[in-house]
Amino acid sequence: MRRRTFLASTAAISGTALLAACAPGSGTDGSSTAPAPKADEVDTDIAGLGEVTLKVWDQEVRGAQNDAITALIEQFQAKYPNVTVDRTSQSSDDLLKQAALALSGNDVPDVLQVNNARADMGEFVKAGQLTDLSGYAEAYGWTDRFEESVLSKARYSADATTFGEGSLWGLPQTGEICGIFYSASRLEAAGGTVPTTWDELSALLGMLQSAGQQPIVLGDLDQWPALHVLGPIQAGLVDADTITKLAMGNEGADWTSPENVQALTTFAEWAKNGYFGPSPAALDYDTAWADFAQGTGVLLIGGSWLGPDMAAVMGEDLHFMAPPPGKDGKVATTGGTGIPFSIPAKAKNAAAAAAYIDFITSADAMKTIAEKGGTPVLDTAELAPASGVTKEIFEAFGSVSTDGALLPYLDYATPTFGDTAGAALQELLNGSSTPEDAAAALQDDYEAFTKKA
């Protein structure tokens, strides 16, 4: 998937979400605060609920996504024949628009996929439009099933001021990370070897450039793919706790720190040295990865979701690795989860909705997701295929999410951070700004939001 497809839509309709957040009878005054049943109050006897029609809205429209969710719904209905799943599937952009409108009214689905960024889930939590899932998490054992690094991506305080801590508002099925794709044949032809440290990666880029090879393919015309390059660089220089605070828009960090400026400096130097090719700021994202698959460049730093499409062209020549260990000595990189499944506060069938979410995120569900070609967020390494780039992606995600640091997407930070960072990195690519200026712009956006929050 193209991760930004969903996130880019948030700015366009943020006004809708904010209107919903300010609707009469809602908000942080408690008048429509989402119910938060305790674990011993959760009804898990779904067969005893009688005939139930469960309304589910999702954006699992792509091949592997749709195949997996369709199979899981069939299995769920076989287990609970008294429950009929009425599924509405639509594009992520359309779903976000419909969700913002529906949640401010009374006709809501029972299960809804909600992007976990501040502009979406954060606003809905603030408005009291989602159900606090903490009691369900205890009753169904979700806190034992999931790593906290995964659950934190859907945690907010009740007033949505703090992201990454507090109550649980959704549960994901799939995982994704930003790492390094490479062509084994092109790397070997240039006399290079797979880097295991950041120093080795830096040396490799210089060697490839000297050998007449384009070291990295990047297409940043849409002003978001560069964030997926900066994130891993930053993880090599900045501790995970600081990055998490910055990316989640929580107080206590500073984009203008020497370490963050060094990350921006490294990115700018790679651009100045030509490591990204002749015109990365003017190259379209889809064109960039397609060019890489067809033979341009040796490395591509980007999201794991690109693997299947590039492997269809490159076959066994395509490989994937997590970035070298980061500042904390652990494997750390930008990544996250698929869009979480939530329960609206006004859902009519919350008990059945929780059972559905539990079912589609179970260990057996992870097997189905893997079989259909998706990347399960749990048991990822264990469910990896026997060979190929998908095996490497699964193993990398498993390593990062369980033993390393799965760092949030940087544009989660504030409702406007994607635009601010996109513009700042474009200027670094073009050489029209300095790392210090970029850091100041990012800090201004981050600081303005955290002070207001």
**What is the per-residue burial (b if ≥16 Cβ within 10 Å, else e) of 175-210?**
bbbbbbbbbeebbeebebeebeebeebbebbeebbe
Cα separation, 229 vs 218, in Å, equals: 9
Q: Which single residue is written with the structure tokens 């040396």?
A: 203
For the chain, give every domain's residue range.
4-174+338-379, 176-335+408-452
Q: How far apart are CA 253 and CA 236, in angstroms?
A: 17
The DSSP annotation for 14-27 comes to: HHHHHHHHTSTT-S
* Residue listed under structure tokens 């210089």: 206
336: alpha, beta or left? (left if phi > 0; alpha if psi -120 to 50): left
Please determine, looking at this structure, whether the domain spanning 4-174+338-379 carries the CATH number 3.90.1560.10.
Answer: no
pLDDT in tens, the chain (453 residues): 334 433 333 333 333 333 333 333 344 433 344 467 899 999 999 999 999 999 999 988 877 889 999 999 999 999 999 999 999 999 877 888 888 889 988 899 999 999 888 888 999 999 999 999 999 999 999 999 998 888 999 999 999 999 999 999 999 999 999 999 999 999 999 999 999 999 999 999 999 999 999 999 999 999 999 999 999 999 999 999 999 999 999 999 999 999 999 999 999 999 999 999 999 999 999 999 999 999 999 999 999 989 988 999 999 999 999 999 988 899 999 998 989 999 999 999 999 999 999 999 999 999 999 998 889 999 998 999 999 999 999 999 999 988 899 999 999 899 899 999 999 999 999 999 999 999 999 999 999 999 986
Q: How many CA atoms lie within 13 A of 82 on its CB side?
A: 11
Homologous superfamily (CATH) of 176-335+408-452 is Periplasmic binding protein-like II (3.40.190.10)
- State how far the Cα of 148 lies from the Cα of 396, in Å rounded to an integer: 18
4-174+338-379 and 176-335+408-452 share one fold: yes
CA pair distance 98, 56, nearest whole angstrom = 13
Q: Is the four-CA dihedral 199, 202, 205, 210 of positive or negative sign?
A: negative
Q: What letter does residue 317 receive in the DSSP assignment?
A: G
Q: Is 45 helix (H, G, I), strand (E, B) or coil?
A: coil
| Among candidate residues 129, 100, 125, 107, the one with its CA nearest the CA of residue 16 | 100
Question: Are residues 216 and 225 in contact, defined by beta-carbon separation less than 8 angstroms?
Answer: no
Query: Running DSSP on this structure, what letter comes out for residue 344?
Result: B
From the CA atom positions of the chain, what is the Rg in Å?
Answer: 22
The C-alpha angle 269, 297, 225, rounded to 5 degrees, equals 60
Q: How far apart are CA 231 and CA 400, in angstroms?
A: 14
The strand pairing partners of 299, in sequence order, are 182, 216
DSSP category for residue 30: S
Distances (CA, A) of 209 to 69, 277, 280: 44, 10, 16
Closest CA to 238 of 328, 152, 177, 322: 328
